[in-house]
Chains A and B, each alone.
Chain A
Amino acid sequence: MINGLIMNETSEPNYLTETRGLSSWIFTLDHKRIGIMYLCIILFFFLVGGVFGLLVRLELLKPNNWLMSNQTYNEMFTLHGVIMIFLFVIPVIPSALGNFFIPLLIGARDVAFPRLNLFSVWLFGAGVLVVIASFSHPIDTGWTFYTPYSARTAAAVTILVGGIFLMGMSTILTALNFIVTIHRLRAPGMTWHRLPLFIWSMYATSIINVIATPVVGMTFMLLMAERLFGIGFFDPAKGGDPLLFQHFFWFYSHPAVYVMILPAMGIISEIIPVFSRKPIFGYRAIAYSSMAIAFSGFLVWGHHMFVAGMSNAADIFFSFFTFSVAVPTGIKVFNWIATMYKGSIHLDTPMIYALTFIFSFVIGGLTGPFLGALATDVPLHDTYFVVAHFHYTMMGGTVMGLFAGLHYWYPKMTGRMLNEKVAKLAWALIFVGFFVTFFNMFILGFRGMPRRWATYPPRFQTQHIISTVGSWILAAGIVIMFYNFIRCLKKGEKAPPNPWGAKTLEWQVPSPPPTGNFTEIPVITDWPYSYPKRDE
C-alpha cells in the first residue's frame, strides 16, 4: 500500500515498518493501519467524485446541452452526489482519522474490538466494489433516491443501494467500536472532562451513527424489496406512501449532516488552541454542545420536506427545531473565537485551514436558517441557493476541517513534514476557487436558477461561467495539495514527535507511532489544553 513511505532503516520499527507486504495490511489488527487503508480508499473517491463535479460544471459552461444529454447530466450529478456523500464525507473523518487517532488520544493501545474493526474495513471495501458494479447502469435519481422514480428507473438502484447498505454496516460497527473504546479504554486519570474535544465530537458522531444509520439501512432494504418484489410501501398505486420514504430518508440524512460536520468541529477544536498557544475557551460548552447537536439533530428532518406536502403543524414544529440547532453550533464558533482572542496565533497550514473552516462554515451555517424558515424556503427550495448552502457546509465545513486535520496530523501519520510553501499555495487556490465557484451560486439561486438542470436561460450564463472557472481554480489547488501529500512521503523533512508543540497524547509518542502506540500507558493528571496563561 504505502510501502514507499518506509522510514530510514536505522530507526526503531514503527507501525509502518514493523511488518511488510500486502497481507500484513489486509489482515492487520492495528487501528492505525486500518485508518490509513480507509484514508486511501476514501480520498481516492474524493477525487473521483470531484471529477464528476467538474464535469457537471463543464456542462453548465454553456446553456444548451453542449457537452452531454439531460440523461447523462442526471447521471453525472447523481454520481457526484452519491460518491461525495456516501463514499467520502460521511466516512472520511470517523473511519480514517477517527480510527487512527481515537486510541492515541485517549491513551489506549487499540480500539476495543480490533477484529471487528478489521471486519468493518472489509465490509467497507466490499461495499465500494458493489457500488462500482452499479456503474454499469449509472444511477440517475439524485443522491436522495426519492420514490416512486427510484423504484421504476432502469438504473442499477438495487445494486447501488445494496453497496451503500454494506458501507452503512461498516459505519455502524466502527461507531460501536468507538463508543465502547471511549467508555472502556481511556488511560488512567483520563476522566470525561479531560478528554480531548475531538473525542467528544467522535463520541457524539458515533451515537448518531448507531441510532440513525439502521433506519436508512432499513429504508434501503425496503427500496430494494420494492424493486425486486413490488411490495408497494412507497408506491401510491398500491396504496403506499411516497412521503414515508422521504421521512425515513431524512430521519437519517439530516442527522447525517452532523455526522459530516461534528468530526470536523472536533478537529478544529484541537487545532485552534494549539496554534493560539492558549487553553481552549469554554471546554464544557464545546463538549456538551456536541452532544446537544447530536440530540437535536434528530428533531429536524422535516425541513427537507416543507414543500412536499406535510401538515402545517409539522412544518412549524420542524421549522422551530431547525432554528434551535443553530444554538449549539453558534456556541462552538464563539468559543473558538474566544480561544484565539489575545492568543499568540501561528499561521501554519493547519491553522489556516481551521480559520477557513470557521469563515466558510459560518456562511454555510447562516444561510441554513433561510431554508429552515418556511416563508423563504418555498421560493429557495431546489434552487442553486441550496447547492451553495450545502457546499458551504460540506466543502467549506467538513472538507476544510478534513484538510486542516490532514495537514495537522500528516507528520504523525507518515513521519514526514509537509512542504509549507506548497501547502499554502494549494490553500490559496482552494480558498479562492471555492469562493468563486460557490458564493456566486447563492445569487444564482436568488435569481431563480433551479438545481439539477443541465440547461438554463441565457441570462444566467455569465454567472455559470464564473462558477465553472472557479471550479478549475479549486481543482488546481486540490491537485497541488495531493501532489504535496504524495511527494512529501519520501521527500518531506523528518518529523519530530511534536512539531506543533501540542499537548494531546498522540504528540507524546514518536512520529510515526510504534505498533502498540505507547511503551507504557500514560497516567493523566491534567486536561490536554494546559497552555501557560499569557499575561498582558
Chain B
Amino acid sequence: MAERIVIVGGGPAGQAAAALLPEARLIARPDETAWHGEPGTVWLLRDGAVEPLGFDTLVIAAPVPRLAIAFGCAMRGWQPVVDEAGRTSVPGIHAAGAIIGAVTAEEAARHGRIIAQSILGLAPEGTILSADLPEDEEERRSLSHGFTPREAAVARLGEHGDTTDLFGPRLGEPILLFPASPVPLAALAARTTTPPAQRARQYDAFMQREQE
C-alpha cells in the first residue's frame, strides 16, 4: 500500500507542503475539519458527518495544539517540540507554521517545504528553528505571537461561552481538554446506533509486574 500522507491545514504551511506532495490528502476548512486524533487516525468533520481517516505520515500545519496533544506529541507549553526537519516526538508526525511559532506566512511556507522535502528524502532547503520559548512555564503558556493557541482558544471561549469556572482561570488548565475544534453533537451521535459494550476496568501493569 502506498504511504498515506495527510496534511492538516490549508494555510501557507499546508499549501506549501501540498504543492510538493501531490499524493497527499489536504484537510482544509471549511470543507473538512480535523477535530481530533488518535495514533494513526485523524477524525474529520466533513459534510456534517464524523469519520476517521487513517494515515502513515501526518503534517499538522494548523494552529491546533490539542490535535498534537491527542497524538501524544511532546509539547513545550502549547507548542509541539520539533527537530530541524519539523519532526515531532511521534514518528510520522510533523508540525509546521504557526503551531511551532512561525510569525510570517513566508516562514510558515518554508516550514511546509522543508517538511515535504524531508518526507520525499530530498535535501531540505534549510532547517526549522521553532520559536525560542521562555523558561518560565506561565510565560510559555501566555505566549502571544502570531496566530497562537492562546488567541485561538480565547476566541473559542468567546464563541462558545466561558468555561473558565469549570476548568480553571488560565489556559494551563489542569485537565487536558479535547477536541481540537468543536464538533456538532448530532453528527457525532449519528456515528453509532448500537450500544457499545461497556469497557472493562483497566489494571495497572506496574502492579501486575510487582505481583509476579
| A is bound by B | no
Residues of A within 8 A of B (CB): none
Residues of B within 8 A of A (CB): none
